[in-house]
């Protein structure tokens, strides 16, 4: 028994004629009849009531027909899905990213990806690195883009570094601190701080600077545009990667704050942005193509910035 014989049997049931069914399948009537007979011999029973004008299937034929429909449809779906995934002309891609990459890097990369593969349904989840790692472990996403320091030493994850992003402090134009000639980090804590979920290294740094055991920001959200709007309409000081609001700084709608006692090249303030996936899990062709696009776009944006 093979799928070809099952397809012929399905065609016979549809056309109720050996001649019409053979013609529909593009073979001669004798060859078609031999195929049906071969199927009956394999099952050891009659599948078609030839004494009936309509060539209806026997009770055994009805059972074979039901399974034949399932097997043939399943084979077609399997072939189509594998072909589509390989050629990237269908299917779905699910991945995640942190709030900062969601501002520019990810939208730019997704735009390039869908231009090249418009039939792939692309879904990306924007959240903090803790929730993204849980989503990855539950196999809800194939990979995510965020700060990789928390995952580099974990054998359950694989990381691929992207260009580090400079962490900065920003505020609205006209903020009281901009009127001062020199700023100390002590001045920072006189105002609310607004951030996304910050990595442990930066959190520890801010705790040390504030003289506290631990540090929690006044405003925390994973929606970066909302965070920026809060800063623009208040005296809150924002913390984030420079690339996420580069255009706002260039246009003068946001201002950078520089602290005299905070080294400008402080490593812990930079985001070690990268791609995180699960160890031992094969990525889909769409995921691999998306990662290649992200890496290429990241390099392009760095060269433009330079």
User: In the prediction, which pLDDT does 196 show?
Assistant: 87
275 and 158 both lie in a single domain: yes
CATH number for the domain including 115?
3.40.190.10
Question: Between the CA atoms of 199, 204, 207 and 212, what dihedral angle is there, to the nearest 10 degrees?
Answer: 130
Q: How far apart are CA 290 and CA 113, in angstroms?
A: 6
158 and 275 both lie in a single domain: yes
123 and 79 both lie in a single domain: no
Q: What is the domain count for the chain?
A: 3
User: In the prediction, which pLDDT does 265 show?
Assistant: 52
Q: What is the mean pLDDT of the chain?
A: 86
175 and 146 both lie in a single domain: no
User: In the prediction, which pLDDT does 61 show?
Assistant: 78
How large is the average pLDDT for residues 55-60? 87
DSSP element (H, E) containing 219: strand 219-220
Q: How far apart are CA 129 and CA 133, in angstroms?
A: 6
HSE toward the beta carbon, residue 141, CA cutoff 13 A: 24
CATH number for the domain including 33?
1.10.10.10
Q: How far apart are CA 56 and CA 63, in angstroms?
A: 13
Q: For residues 133 and 243, which has the higher predicted lDDT (pLDDT)?
A: 133
User: In the prediction, which pLDDT does 142 show?
Assistant: 95
Of the candidates 64, 84, 104, which is a domain's last residue?
84
Q: How far apart are CA 274 and CA 85, in angstroms?
A: 25
Angle, CA 232 vertex, CA 128 and CA 209 arms, to 5°? 60
Going by C-beta distance under 8 Å and a sequence separation of 6 or more, which residues neighbour residue 222?
98, 99, 126, 127, 128, 196, 197
Q: What is the pLDDT of residues 16-33, one digit of tens each?
A: 888 888 888 888 989 988
Of the candidates 69, 84, 99, which is a domain's last residue?
84
Question: Between the CA atoms of 216, 222, 223 and 229, what dihedral angle is there, to the nearest 10 degrees?
Answer: 10
Instruction: Give, in order, the Cα–Cα distances in Å from 213 to each of 27, 28, 262.
Output: 82, 85, 19
275 and 205 both lie in a single domain: no
105 and 126 both lie in a single domain: yes
21 and 149 both lie in a single domain: no
Q: What is the pLDDT of residues 221-245, one digit of tens each?
A: 988 889 999 999 999 999 888 877 8
Q: What is the pLDDT of residues 259-302, one digit of tens each?
A: 887 765 555 567 788 999 999 888 888 999 999 999 999 988 75
24 and 102 both lie in a single domain: no
Residue 249's domain comprises 164-269
Q: How far apart are CA 25 and CA 31, in angstroms?
A: 11
DSSP three-state, residue 181: coil
Residues 219-237 as b/e (b if ≥16 CB within 10 A, e otherwise) read bebbebeebbebbbebebb
Of the candidates 67, 84, 101, which is a domain's last residue?
84
Is pLDDT at 201 greater than 90 in this prediction?
no
Q: How far apart are CA 125 and CA 58, in angstroms?
A: 53
* Phi and psi at residue 239, to the nearest 5°: -125, 130
How large is the average pLDDT for residues 140-157? 92
181 and 139 both lie in a single domain: no
65 and 139 both lie in a single domain: no
Q: How far apart are CA 56 and CA 65, in angstroms?
A: 11
Residues 28-44 as b/e (b if ≥16 CB within 10 A, e otherwise) read eeeebbebbeebbeeee
68 and 130 both lie in a single domain: no
Specify the pTM.
0.64
User: In the prediction, which pLDDT does 105 show?
Assistant: 92
147 and 275 both lie in a single domain: yes
Check residue 276 and report its DSSP letter.
E
């Amino acid at each position: 028994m093979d799928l070809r014989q099952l397809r012929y049997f399905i065609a016979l049931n549809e056309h109720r004629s050996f001649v019409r069914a053979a013609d529909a399948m593009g073979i001669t009537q004798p060859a078609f009849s031999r195929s049906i007979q071969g199927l009956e011999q394999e099952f050891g029973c009659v599948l078609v009531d030839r004494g009936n004008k309509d060539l209806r299937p026997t009770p055994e034929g009805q059972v074979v027909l039901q399974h034949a429909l399932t097997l043939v449809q399943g084979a077609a779906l399997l072939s189509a899905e594998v072909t589509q995934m390989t050629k990237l002309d269908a299917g779905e891609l699910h991945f995640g990213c942190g709030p900062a990459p969601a501002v520019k890097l990810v939208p730019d990369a997704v735009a390039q990806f869908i231009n090249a593969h418009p039939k792939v349904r692309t879904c990306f989840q924007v959240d903090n690195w803790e929730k993204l790692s849980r989503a990855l472990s539950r196999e809800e996403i194939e990979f995510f883009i965020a700060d990789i320091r928390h995952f580099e030493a974990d054998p359950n994850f694989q990381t691929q570094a992207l260009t580090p992003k400079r962490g900065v402090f920003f505020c609205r134009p006209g903020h009281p601190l901009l009127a001062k000639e020199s700023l100390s980090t002590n001045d920072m804590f006189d105002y609310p701080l607004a951030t996304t979920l910050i990595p442990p290294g930066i959190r520890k740094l801010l705790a040390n600077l504030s003289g506290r055991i631990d540090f929690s920001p006044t405003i925390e959200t994973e929606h970066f545009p909302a965070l920026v709007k809060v800063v623009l309409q208040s005296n809150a000081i924002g913390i984030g990667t420079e690339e996420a609001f580069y255009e706002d700084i260039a246009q003068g709608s946001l201002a950078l704050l520089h602290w005299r006692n905070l080294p400008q090249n402080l490593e812990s303030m930079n985001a070690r942005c990268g791609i995180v996936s699960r160890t031992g899990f094969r990525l889909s062709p769409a995921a691999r193509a998306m990662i290649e696009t992200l890496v290429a776009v990241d390099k392009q944006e760095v060269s433009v910035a330079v």
